Amino acid sequence: MSEPETTTGSRRVSTDTGSRALPSEKTITASHGEVLVSARGLQKSFGDRHILKNVDFDMLVGDITVIIGKSGSGKSTLLRALAGLTDPDAGRILFDGKIVFEGEDRTEDWEDVESHVGMVFQSYTLWPHMDVLANLTLAPRKRLKLSVAEVNARAEVALAEVGMAHHIRSRPAQLSGGERQRVAIARALMMRPKLLLCDEITSALDPPVAAEVLEVLRRLKEEEGIAVALVTHDMAFASKAADRVVFFHEGEIAVNATPDEAFNRSTNPELKKFVDAVRF
Ligand SMILES: Nc1ncnc2c1ncn2[C@@H]1O[C@H](COP(=O)(O)OP(=O)(O)OP(=O)(O)O)[C@@H](O)[C@H]1O
Ligand SMILES: [Mg+2]
């Protein structure tokens, strides 16, 4: 079995004690309502298929940006590019005003910010043979070289953030889908992200459980001042969750609007067709 996918590949050694509230970092200065991440002219092809054509957008601290669009339109590719899991072929990514990707390469500044980017996937990607605590602490122990006491303290804080402190010794098989997904969010929080990228994290969950996960994200963005990007096919969830809605069409951002504008007042024919097709 391969190791669950994670974006926490920082080579930076943290000196944090692990005891503070999650996530806070001196190196990121953008505050609520300010731009945290910008993409400019991002392009990405796979072979001769041009997937990201010219992607431009900003994400603000304290916003949930919901990304919608047809299957295969490039939503996951965009999240993976923001997470550093894939490199675009051209364009620029700025994080807190610093250029972290330019042309075809990550810049030196990427090393400072990559540990502030967390990603959560549709499948929970938890180790089945380890308890929740071990699932949370494995990567930070290795990558940040923190002590057992430090990572355990972080795990307790992260689990409390998602309302799962009482499950610290449970195994994934003993948890419901929503609980597992909350543990997966807690695992991403271990690195104290300022940007949390969520790729269809509620698509395997019942609506009430999806609503609980949404509540966790809302509290995080409000209380911890993070920016969240959320890819979903669930338009009811999208309209409830979003501060901004980004509609992806043929590799470009066709609409970037408030949920009300996007779902009720957009004149973009492709978005109207898309929303009608999946009408909630
Ligand atoms: N590593 C890869 N190699 C080749 N093609 C890829 C790769 N990753 C993605 N693609 C292709 O790029 C296109 C966009 O994929 P992506 O996963 O970004 O779509 P998506 O919008 O997330 O779709 P879905 O809603 O189905 O998850 C798809 O046609 C996919 O097959
Ligand atoms: Mg996808």
Closest listed ligand to the CA of 73: 1
Is 80 exceeded by the pLDDT of residue 4?
no
Q: How many domains in the chain?
A: 1
The yes-or-no verdict on residue 143 having pLDDT over 90 is no
**Is the CB of residue 48 below 6 angstroms from any atom belonging to ligand 1?**
no
Top mutation candidate among 5, 42, 45, 51 for ligand 1, by most atoms within 8 Å of CB: 51
With respect to residue 188, please indicate whether it lies within any of the assigned structural domains.
Answer: no
- Give, using CA atoms, the residue closest to atom 18 of ligand 1: 74
Collapse the DSSP code of 170 into the 3-class scheme (helix H, G, I; strand E, B; otherwise coil) and give the result: coil
Instruction: Note whether residue 217 is domain-resident.
Output: yes
Percent of the chain clearing pLDDT 90 (strictly above) = 57
**CB proximity list for 100: less than 8 A, separation 6 or greater:** 93, 94, 106, 107, 109, 110, 113, 114
- Give the closest ligand to the alpha carbon of residue 278: 1
Does residue 146 lie within any of the structural domains? no
Ligand 1: does its nearest atom lie under 6 Å from the Cβ of 122?
A: no
State the pLDDT at residue 19.
Answer: 39
Q: Decide if 5 is inside a domain.
A: no
- Examine residue 109 and state whether it is found in any structural domain, yes or no: yes
* Higher-confidence position of 3 and 79: 79
- Examine the pLDDT at 8 and tell me if it is beyond 60: no
Tell me which residue has its CA closest to atom 1 in ligand 1: 46
Q: Give domain status of residue 136, yes or no.
A: no
CB of 74 shorter than 6 A to ligand 1: yes
pTM for the model stands at: 0.86
From 48, 50, 77, the mutation candidate for ligand 1 (largest count of ligand atoms within 8 A of CB) is: 77
Nearest in space to 239 (alpha carbons), one of 269, 204, 207, 273: 207
Spell out which residues have Cβ within 5 A of ligand 2, the ion: 76
Residue 211's pLDDT is: 86
Answer yes or no: is the C-beta of 115 below 6 A from any ligand 1 atom: no
What pLDDT, in 10s, does the model give residues 11-66?
333 334 333 444 444 567 888 888 999 999 999 999 999 999 999 999 999 999 99
- pLDDT value at position 280? 56
Q: Which residue range is the domain that position 270 belongs to?
A: 35-125+195-277
Whether 175 maps to a domain, the answer reads no
pLDDT reading at 222 higher than 90 = no
Closest CA to 231 of 66, 55, 69: 66
Selected residue with higher pLDDT from 32 and 243? 243
CATH number of the domain residue 57 falls in:
3.40.50.300
pLDDT at 3 over 60: no
Residue 279 is predicted with a pLDDT of: 67
SS3 253: strand
Q: Which ligand is nearest to the CA of 246?
A: 1
**Of residues 90 and 241, which shows the higher confidence score?**
90
Question: Tell me, what's the pLDDT at 26?
Answer: 52
Is residue 44 in contact with ligand 1, taking CB distance under 6 Å? no
Quick check: is 58 in a domain? yes
Dihedral of CA 181/186/191/196: which sign?
positive
Residue range 93-110: average pLDDT?
93
Burial of 45 (0-12, 13-18, 19+ CB in 10 A): middle
What is the chain's mean pLDDT, rounded? Answer: 86
**Which is more confidently placed, 146 or 164?**
164
pLDDT digits (tens, 9 = 90+) for 174-219: 998 889 989 999 998 888 889 999 999 888 777 888 888 888 888 8
